[in-house]
Structure 1
Amino acid sequence: MTNEETSLLHTDVYDRFSPQKKKLLSTIVIWGGLVAFFTASTFVPSIPQISRDLNTTGEVVGYAVSVYTFAASVGGLVGSRYAKFYGRRPVYLCGFPLMVVASLAVARASTVPQLLVWRGIQGIGAAPNYPLGAGVIGDIYRLEERGTALGTYFGFTFLGIALGPSLGGIIAHYWSWRAIHYLLACFGCAAFVFLFILFPETSHPGTRGMDEYARSGKALPKWRPCLLNPFSQLLLLRSPNILAVAISGAVTVITDLALLVPFAYTIGKRYGIDNEALIGLCFLPLGIGNALGAPLSGRLSDKVVIKYKEMRGYWYPEDRLRAAFFGAFLPFPILASALITKYVSGPIGLTLNLVCLFISGIGCDLVMTPGGAYVVDVLQANSAGATAAVNSFRWMLTSFQTAMLLPMINTYGHLVTNSVISLLVVFGFMLTALTIAYGKSMRAFVDVGYPAT
């Protein structure tokens, strides 16, 4: 690294872009994140229609959700690993075309195997956008600003959860589930154009793998990309801190999926909702809760960081995780939803369930956002890779959990299933509390590149 690069890296690396430019970059990565979440969330309301169209069952089509989440976990690792080596921009520009082609193929699927294969490829293409966006935010915002910036990023991208199922249900009902994926392809194409024209490289100068190659005198392959091991980033999970955040996030995100994935067969069946458009609209409260909870949690976590930094006289990274306990009520709406569905009938029962979805959406993001910001804080130099490792672990675990939801509900019932999920969330809070209390010792146990504090 040259003296000029070193000086830039340690003095004004966060001032390379003006406030207006930062807002533009944030808007672009939010668009990318929306593509990822729209691709994931527009599918669920159309499961009954797809099962009829492909002459199969909702349970079989539901496996496409698990295939997508598993493929997305792999895609996130691949994208972030190559972003660490080549930079953010090239990976964005490679991922979007893959997502667009796969969306067109999903729209034309005529068998369940075709649907599952292309749905998986769709996940691989779309998934890198989420960790890359978090990495870009980490590239351009300082520690004291980062929680708010990431909260805004998460909040707007989680609008995909709010609007995706609603739009997906409406489009499936009035047109076709296939039209959803044609529109996703158009949305991805538009994002690609904006990225190509307006998005510069944001990686800190001299920190990419190709920069290391240049300094060591190694030559890059001329006709192919370097062959990198994307799964090496999972070694970050050797650290108890990162693993604890990943597990806590996995048991938290399943609260959203436990309400959404089986909705048509639980709440929808109980209250006579079999219209895809209405099912999609019922998802709206949860998504709005997600979109409100993330920026609120981001601001709260920044305030917590600043407060404890002033009290201690130094920065203790795990202080940010204290903000997760603002969402300590999360287990209750999950359990309440199952109880209401079982014992309260009619419009009152449905209304109370929608309230539970809204409260759960807020709680989920109050818990998850501090964890996402914490990972970027402690591994800023590899923020996209760290975010991808955590998300990949989370989505791999979630993919298996999701696959078990409908079979478990069919075998043991809605109330038992949601009770188990509530207990898992309590376990996640226990892990977070331990990480806050013993964070420094846990970081010292396996140092994966933590900063000195």
Structure 2
Amino acid sequence: MVLMISDDSPYERFSNRQKKVITAVISLAGIIGPFAASSFIPSISEIAKELETTGTVVNYTVGAYVFTLALGNLVWAPYAEFYGRRPVYLISLPLVCIGALGSTMARSIFELIVGRCLQAFGASCVLAVGAATISDIYKLEERGTAMGVFFGAILFGPPLAPLIGGLLATYYSWRITQLCIMLLGLTAFLAVFMLLPETSHPGTRGIDKVEELELHTVSKEDIESSLERQRIDNAVRAQTKYLNPFKSLGLFKGPVVGLVAIAASLALTTFYFFAVPLGFTLAPRYGIMSPAYIGACFVPSGCGSMVGAMLAGRLSDRAIIKGRRTRQGRWSPEDRLRAAIPGAMIFLPFSLILYGYTLVNIEGTTGLVICLICLFVNGMGVDIVLSPVATYLCDILKTRSVEAMAVYTASRSLFCAVASAAVLPMINSFGVFHTYVFAAVLALIAYGLLFITLAHGHELRRWKDIGYTPSNGDSFP
């Protein structure tokens, strides 16, 4: 299936400088959720001691946080579609600050869980709406590169958080990390308030359609028919009624949405196979005991994410441009997914299997260096998959981009929540190497799903029309 490119005028509302500022603001806000998710990892044992519980129970707060991220994405999406991007940012980011402050002051594991979940609910908004904001301002041939920057920032959060959290836990307290998250949330809120305009395309918000309906109807005094008056009132009320948070899940009726969302979820899950057990596997294996040094082990993963972001974004845009050139200006949405194939097929399985083998069989500095290289390759591979997939969904569902990102991010969060809770029991039951072989199989399944979409996306999208509009004004032939 090929699609025609539509008018680019909606993307010319902002200058290049404004677009860069918007991308920077969204990236700053987007880093909060993943950063906060991983901030506990190096200091789980210290938190357990202070709150008089076990490391396993504290580790469950990571899963609860990630699960709340998934739920929050679905809740915020319909409001961002109806009222616009900017209002939901301004409402959600203060919740991050309140939740972080509550976590800082927690005196029991229950209080900590409540604070963390409120924090996650607020942070979840940017994860879904942020990618849609990028899609609002960048046209097709530029969108992948900008999305790569956004996802590079998001995926740098999980590796950066353990380093900062470990340093603060070592020299101060884990509570200071939560205070830093509160300050980060406040900074993001102020940046949005001062620098971020509304980016939704004119006339596309639900509230715009309500206003248009009201403007184009005659006044009630001029309406002779009471039935006509009632019809207009019902139409307006239908637009402003309670917004169903689970409406976005209807996008899974489109097979390609489910395939690529699951593929990206499996890819991101592999990072949690590295991150969650690191303090219980790599650290004791190579004599790393300080939370600060444990956190430093995540830095290669963050560097890999940054490299992967630059590669994936540019390669996906080039794939689109090349595809258009060969078709005389027409394009196939699946061209963008070609950039994601190497990540799922090569980088992720290779890094997982080598990491598991090294932990079991190679000692000393050599083993540690190989493990850190594997963390770098995994970080690169994850971003090479996630960025093109997110951009692809915004391409094919432009008028429903927030909903597309909501189900995409919710799917990722649910998979990662399960992985966070399951990885340590799996290692205890099946051993280190077999656990990482299993994770490599998940990566290969992700590759298979991407390959199916790449090869048969044309047919799959014809099964069910869920409003495929990859660019303003486009339609599927």
Q: Deviations over 1:359-408 (max 9, x none)?
A: 11111111221111101111111212201111102211221222111111
Counterpart position of 2:222: none
Counterpart position of 1:399: 417
Q: SS of the counterpart of 2:246?
A: helix
Q: Matches of 1:370 and 1:190 in 2, distance apart?
A: 29
Q: Matches of 1:220 and 1:104 in 2, distance apart?
A: 40
Aligned-residue offset at 1:11? 5.3
What is the aligned counterpart of 2:197 among 200, 222, 238?
200
Aligned-residue offset at 1:415? 1.1
What is the aligned counterpart of 1:356 among 374, 389, 394?
374
Deviates more, 1:32-41 or 1:184-193: 32-41
Greater Rg by CA: 2
Counterpart position of 1:235: 250
Aligned-residue offset at 1:279? 0.6
What is the aligned counterpart of 1:338 among 356, 359, 367?
356
What is the aligned counterpart of 2:283 among 268, 277, 280?
268
Give yes or no for contact 2:98–2:118 (8 Å, CA) kept in 1.
Answer: no
Give yes or no for contact 1:147–1:301 (8 Å, CA) kept in 2.
Answer: yes
Give yes or no for contact 1:379–1:449 (8 Å, CA) kept in 2.
Answer: yes
Q: Which amino acid aligns with 2:414?
A: M
What is the aligned counterpart of 1:442 among 429, 440, 460?
460
Counterpart position of 1:41: 38
Q: Which amino acid aligns with 1:317?
A: P
Counterpart position of 1:422: 440
What is the aligned counterpart of 2:65 among 52, 65, 68?
68
What is the aligned counterpart of 1:129 among 126, 129, 139?
126
Answering whether residue 20 of structure 2 is matched by residue 23 of structure 1, we say yes
Give yes or no for contact 1:106–1:178 (8 Å, CA) kept in 2.
Answer: yes
Q: Which amino acid aligns with 1:286?
A: S
Q: Matches of 1:163 and 1:44 in 2, distance apart?
A: 11
Give yes or no for contact 2:93–2:123 (8 Å, CA) kept in 1.
Answer: yes
* Equivalent runs, 1:152-191 vs 2, <5 Å: 152-191=149-188
Q: Deviations over 1:290-343 (max 9, x none)?
A: 121012101001111111222233210011111112222110111111110111
220 and 111 in structure 1: CA distance in 2 versus 1, 3 angstrom threshold: farther
Counterpart position of 1:319: 335
Q: SS of the counterpart of 1:227?
A: coil
Give yes or no for contact 1:150–1:295 (8 Å, CA) kept in 2.
Answer: no
Give yes or no for contact 2:272–2:419 (8 Å, CA) kept in 1.
Answer: no
Give yes or no for contact 1:155–1:294 (8 Å, CA) kept in 2.
Answer: yes
What is the aligned counterpart of 1:216 among 205, 210, 213?
213
Aligned-residue offset at 1:153? 1.5
Deviates more, 1:307-316 or 1:117-126: 307-316
Counterpart position of 1:383: 401
Q: Matches of 1:165 and 1:190 in 2, distance apart?
A: 21
Aligned-residue offset at 1:25? 0.9
Q: Matches of 2:8 and 2:351 in 1, distance apart?
A: 47
Give yes or no for contact 1:154–1:295 (8 Å, CA) kept in 2.
Answer: no
Q: Matches of 1:117 and 1:188 in 2, distance apart?
A: 17
RMSD: 1.6
Q: Deviations over 1:251-273 (max 9, x none)?
A: 10011111001100111121122
Aligned-residue offset at 1:117? 2.1
Q: Which amino acid aligns with 2:333?
A: P
Q: Which amino acid aligns with 1:195?
A: V
What is the aligned counterpart of 1:374 among 388, 392, 409?
392
What is the aligned counterpart of 1:282 among 287, 290, 297?
297
Aligned-residue offset at 1:215? 2.5
Ranges in structure 1 where 5+ consecutive residues have no aligned partner: 1-8
Counterpart position of 1:12: 9
Q: Percent identity?
A: 40
Answering whether residue 60 of structure 2 is matched by residue 99 of structure 1, we say no
Q: Matches of 2:27 and 2:320 in 1, distance apart?
A: 24
Aligned-residue offset at 1:214? 1.9
Aligned-residue offset at 1:46? 1.8
Q: Matches of 1:139 and 1:337 in 2, distance apart?
A: 40
Q: TM-score, normalised by structure 2?
A: 0.90
Structure 1 segments of 4 or more deviating over 4 A? 218-221
Aligned-residue offset at 1:73? 0.7
Give yes or no for contact 2:256–2:453 (8 Å, CA) kept in 1.
Answer: yes
Q: Which amino acid aligns with 1:398?
A: C
Aligned-residue offset at 1:56? 2.0
Q: Deviations over 1:35-73 (max 9, x none)?
A: 222222222222121122122222211111110111001
Aligned-residue offset at 1:216? 2.9
Give yes or no for contact 1:159–1:290 (8 Å, CA) kept in 2.
Answer: yes
What is the aligned counterpart of 1:257 among 269, 272, 297?
272
